[in-house]
Amino acid sequence: MKPDTIAEAHAARVADADPLIPTMQPLQPSEDRILLTAAAGGSHAAGLAGLVEHSDQESRSIYHPLREYQLAVRIAGDQPDAALSALLTQWDDELAERAEPGDRESAAVVLRPSRDTAGTAALLEHGFAPIRGIAVRPADRLGAGSGPTPGVYVRAAGPEDLPTVTALGMELLEFDSQFGVVNLREVSEQMVASMSKGYIRGEDPSIWIAEVYGQPLGVVTLQLPPSSDWARPYVAADKVGYINSMAVSTAARGTGVGTALTAHTHQIFDEAGVDVALLHHALANPRSTPFWYSQGYRPLWTYWYRRPAVR
């Protein structure tokens, strides 16, 4: 079966599974991305394999290994696990020639629509685990959720809040580093402070502080269009609001601070007319995953990781 035919069948299945996934495009090989194909059990799979590298001095390295081997997958047929397993075996042969065994700064990554579960058993068989997710919340939910939280006041962050924002950001990173998503670097704190400073200086407020009886105990950072347009390829929507991060001090967890920040964020998104809100989160985090889904979010994309890429 030709790769374009595989892509068409794959796109049809994904569209049935989740209408918020954008139209799945055919795979286009290039100088740095090679096309792999496989067949097994009467089913077919195609994949586009490439490498994305990061410097440990850039902010993206906080959320990515320095060497990220990626595989974009398309599957067609009634035996998706057999076809995907054959494709992953081919990819493993490629990785054996490109990646250093045991390199903890490497990862093999497959991004899949969360509701397209075809091939899940093959990913598990080849040592992948669902590590990171993109969650989505459609707009038009005015009136949903709880009312104001007593004692919690949400305000825009100012330059004087930079130490608080940085400290809460680092507390979040240190907790999330347990779940395979965050990489703590020597320059992590400097990066968090620099990014936060940039958001605080923006024309429109994009960092908001939650105070509990005057004490700052929570922070949320968000993006509105056009700053959030980079996230549009992940969802079938025109206007996307994106939550970069939300951190609540350990002392304030369970007090409603997170709910107050989320309600405020959703109000901003509604006033801006966004169609959906998106966010990334660590799937194994026992706090953030249930919290976000209780706030109206649901899985959209799942990042399957194997780290190191070659064991």
- pLDDT per residue, tens digit, the chain (311 aa), is 899 999 999 999 999 999 999 998 889 999 999 999 999 999 999 999 999 999 999 989 999 999 999 999 999 999 999 999 999 999 999 999 999 999 999 999 999 999 999 999 999 999 999 999 999 999 865 545 455 677 799 999 999 999 999 999 999 999 999 999 899 998 999 999 988 888 886 666 799 999 988 899 999 999 999 999 999 999 999 999 999 999 999 888 877 899 999 999 999 999 999 999 999 999 999 999 999 999 999 999 999 999 999 99
Sequence-ordered alpha helix ranges (H) in 103-227? 120-125, 162-176, 188-200
pTM: 0.93
Helix (H) or strand (E) holding 73: strand 67-76
Long-range Cβ pairs for the range 266-271 (8 Å, 24+): 266/137, 266/141, 266/145, 268/222, 268/224, 268/241, 269/139, 269/222, 269/224, 269/241, 270/139, 270/140, 270/141, 270/142
Q: CB neighbours of 208 closer than 8 A, spacing ≥ 6?
A: 154, 155, 156, 157, 219, 220, 222, 261, 264, 265
Q: How far is residue 255 CA from its own chain's centroid?
A: 26
**What is the number of helices (H) and of strands (E) in the chain?**
7, 11
DSSP designation for 232: G
- Cα(2)–Cα(260) distance, integer angstroms: 51
User: What is the C-alpha radius of gyration for the chain, rounded to an integer number of angstroms?
Assistant: 21
